[in-house]
Amino acid sequence: MPWHRRHLITLEELSLDEIEQVHATAVAFKRTLKRTVKKVPALRGKTIVNLFLEPSTRTRMAFEMAAKRLSADVIGFDAANSSTTKGETLRDTAQNIQALQADMIVLRHSAAGSPLYLSRILNIPVINAGDGAHEHPSQGLLDTFTMKEHLGSLRGRKVVILGDILFSRVARSNIHALTKMGANVTLVGPSTLVPHWFTHLGVKVSHDLKSALADAEVVMLLRIQHERQAAGLFPSLSEYTSMFGLNKTRASWLNPKAIIMHPGPINRGVEIDSELADGARSVILEQVTNGIAVRMAVLYLCAGGQPENVTPVE
C-alpha cells in the first residue's frame, strides 16, 4: 500500500503497515545522517512552520533538524512573542501561517485534540508534535524504531512503561504503536498516576514494580513532574523514588539484555539513577538521534513522498 496520509495526528489511527512504512523510511534516512554531507534535497523549496505553543527543547530541535536535513526552510514560532498572547485564536494563527504559503505545520499544543482541529481547518499537512496528554506520535514512532534496532521484531516482547502514565502523551502513543506491533505492554507506577482505565487500551496495569520488571526487555521511564505532587497525586518525589525509581537493584530484575529508555527530559535521581541513565543499557541518547531520522520520514511522507523513493544522494 502506498503512503496516503497528509497529516500525522495519532498513532491510534495508524495501521501496523503504516508504522512499518515510517520505520523503513527512517532506516534509509538514518544512513544519510552518518555522511559528511547530511542533507538530502527531498523537501527543497518547501517551508515548514514549527508552531510550538508549549515549551519544548528536544522535539522542536529534532523537527527543525529533520526539516533542514530534508532541505526544507524552517520557521519557528515562539509562543511567548506571538499574537497568541494578544488573544489571537489558534484558527486565525494557523490560517495566517497557511496564507503565508507555508507547506506544512508542526504543532505542539497543551490542549488535546488541537492538531485534529487544525487538520480539519487547513489545506496543508499538520504534524502533531504533542497535544496535551493525548499523543506524541513522532515520539512513539522513534521509540518503537529504537526498540526494533535493539530487539528486532517486537512481537511477544515484554515492554514496561514506568511513571506518570495518566498525563503522558508519550505513553499513549507508545501504547498504540506497541500493541499494534504485538508487544506485551505493562504500565507501572502509583495507582493515582496509572489508572485502571488503561487496561481498555490492551495493556496490563501493575503497581508492583518487581513483578512488572521481571524479565522485561524494555523499560521506558517517564518524567515525574513536581506539579503532580502539588496536585496531591503522590506524597513526595522521595517517596516516588523509593517506591518506583529505577536503581541498580531494580534494574537487575530486568532481562539481562534489556534496554532502558526515557523520552527526556530526565530527572536524575528521581525516576532513574544517574548510573543507569548513563550506563551501557541506556539508549536515551540513541532515541534523540533516531528522533531526527524518524521525523525526517514523517515530514517526507506527509509531504507526499513514498517510502520506496528515498534515494540518498551520495
Interface ranges with other proteins (CB under 8 A): 12, 89-91, 109-114, 116-117, 131-135, 166, 169, 172, 195, 197-198, 200-201, 231
Residue 84 CA to residue 99 CA, distance in Å, equals: 17
Provide the grid cell at 173.
502513543
CB 139 within 8 A of CB 295: no
Residue 193 CA to residue 229 CA, distance in Å, equals: 11
Q: Which is nearer to other proteins, 4 or 200 (CB)?
A: 200
Least Å from the CB of residue 90 to other proteins: 6
Least Å from the CB of residue 213 to other proteins: 23
Q: Which is nearer to other proteins, 7 or 109 (CB)?
A: 109
Provide the grid cell at 249.
537493584
**Residue among 227, 153, 219 nearest 193 (CA):** 227
Least Å from the CB of residue 41 to other proteins: 36
Q: Which is nearer to other proteins, 33 or 79 (CB)?
A: 79
Least Å from the CB of residue 99 to other proteins: 18
Least Å from the CB of residue 268 to other proteins: 27
CB 57 within 8 A of CB 265: yes
Query: Which CA distances in Å does 156 have to 200, 228, 296?
Result: 19, 33, 29
CB 92 within 8 A of CB 114: no
Q: Which residues, including other chains, have CB under 8 Å from residue 277's CB and lie 6 or more apart?
A: 260, 262, 266, 268, 284
Least Å from the CB of residue 132 to other proteins: 5
Residue 313 CA to residue 149 CA, distance in Å, equals: 24
Q: Which is nearer to other proteins, 199 or 211 (CB)?
A: 199
Q: Which is nearer to other proteins, 161 or 166 (CB)?
A: 166
Provide the grid cell at 193.
498516576
How far is C-alpha 118 from the geometric centre of its chain's CA atoms? Answer: 20
Q: Which is nearer to other proteins, 10 or 290 (CB)?
A: 10
Q: Which is nearer to other proteins, 120 or 257 (CB)?
A: 120
Least Å from the CB of residue 111 to other proteins: 4
